[in-house]
Amino acid sequence: MHHFVTEPAPTTVDHNIITINIIDREGNESRYEAPTDMNMNLMEVCKAHELPVKGTCGGMALCSSCHIYIQSDHELPEMSADEEAQLDQAFFVKSNSRLGCQIHITNDMDGMTVALAPESE
Ligand code: FES
């Protein structure tokens, strides 16, 4: 668990930034920055860094194009019924599968490693 002091540093930019390691479909791992205070989810972070994640449904847990595998042992919030139902219909599902669009970026995810699942279309 990380504990962050919430007092803003006056001379720096206000954003809280964490780093997330993302392994692309070719197996290349890179570190990416993700803000924790801009209400972003992991699908949007991938898209912002121009990773090949379509996000076809716009983050509604309805398409699985943001399917990822959680490779580190970070504890994430439980899946919603919607996420579970969509993953039930997805391909290449493993025990560490999640939908990136349902993962809201928080400070607890600093240093997390995720891999993009193969595309199913
Ligand atoms: S973007 Fe469609 S399920 Fe995540």
Domain 17-116 CATH class label: alpha beta
Query: Could you tell me which residues come within 8 angstroms of residue 48 by beta carbon, excluding any fewer than 6 positions away?
Result: 40
**Ligand 1 pocket member 57 (CB < 6 A):** yes
Atom of ligand 1 nearest to the CA of 53: 1
Report residue 50: phi and psi, to 5°.
Answer: 60, 35
Prediction pTM value:
0.87
Q: What separation in Å is there between the alpha carbon of 72 and the centre of ligand 1?
A: 21
CA nearest ligand 1 atom 3, residue: 61
Statement: residue 79 has pLDDT above 90 = yes
Least confident of 1-5, 13-17, 66-70, 97-101: 1-5
| pLDDT attached to residue 120 | 79
Q: How many CB atoms lie within 10 A of CB 83?
A: 18
Integer Cα distance of 66 and 112 in angstroms: 16
Residue among 24, 39, 41, 32 at smallest CA distance from 99: 41
